[in-house]
Amino acid sequence: MKEPKKYPILSDADPEELVNIVRDGVAFPYFVKLSDKLHFTFEEWSSYLHLSERTIQRYKKESKTFDPIYSERIIQIELLYKRGSEVFGSEASFNTWMESNIVALGNVKPKELLDTSFGIQSIMDELGRIEHGVFA
C-alpha cells in the first residue's frame, strides 16, 4: 500500500487521500497552524468538535493526533474555508460573511453551524448558490 501524503493541498486531495488523512488523524501541530490561519480559538474548536478545551490541551501536551471522528470535522471545516475563500475571492471577505447573520441560513451566523456535518453542508450549499448567483 502506498504511503499517503500527510497533508496535501486538501482541495486537490481525492476521496481516498482524505479518508487516509482522517484515519491517520490530524496531527496537533497541523491543527495549530490551521487554527491560526482560520483565527479560531481552542474554545471555538471545543464547540465545533464537541471536546472540552481541557481535552484539546491534553492533545497538545501529549502531541497526539486527533481521533478520526474529530479529524474528519477538522478537515471538513478546512475544506469549507478553502471553498468559501474561492467563492468570495479572499479569506477576509469569507470570514466577514461567516460572522454575519445570513437569512438563507435561518438568520444565524454560518460560523455557528460548524458543530455539525449538516451545518457544514448547509454552508457549502449556500456557497454553491452564491457562486451561481442564486439568492434565496
Query: Model confidence over 58-99: pLDDT tens digits?
Result: 999 998 999 999 999 999 999 999 999 999 999 999 999 999
Domain total in the chain? 1
Give a yes or no: residue 45 inside a domain: yes
Residue 136 lies in a domain: no
Whether 86 contacts 80, CB under 8 Å: no
Per-residue pLDDT tens over the stretch 16-53: 999 999 999 999 999 999 999 999 999 999 999 999 99
41's CB contacts (< 8 A; 6+ apart) are 35
- Report if residue 9 sits inside a domain: no
Does residue 114 belong to any structural domain of this protein?
yes
Q: Which domain holds residue 43?
A: 15-131
Name residue 27's beta-bridge partners.
Answer: 65
Within-domain flag for 1: no
Residue 10 confidence class, pLDDT cut points 50, 70, 90: low
Residue 47 resides in a domain: yes
Is 44 part of a structural domain of the chain? yes
- List the end-to-end C-alpha distance of the chain, in Å, as a whole number: 46
Does residue 68 form part of some domain? yes
pTM (2 d.p.): 0.88
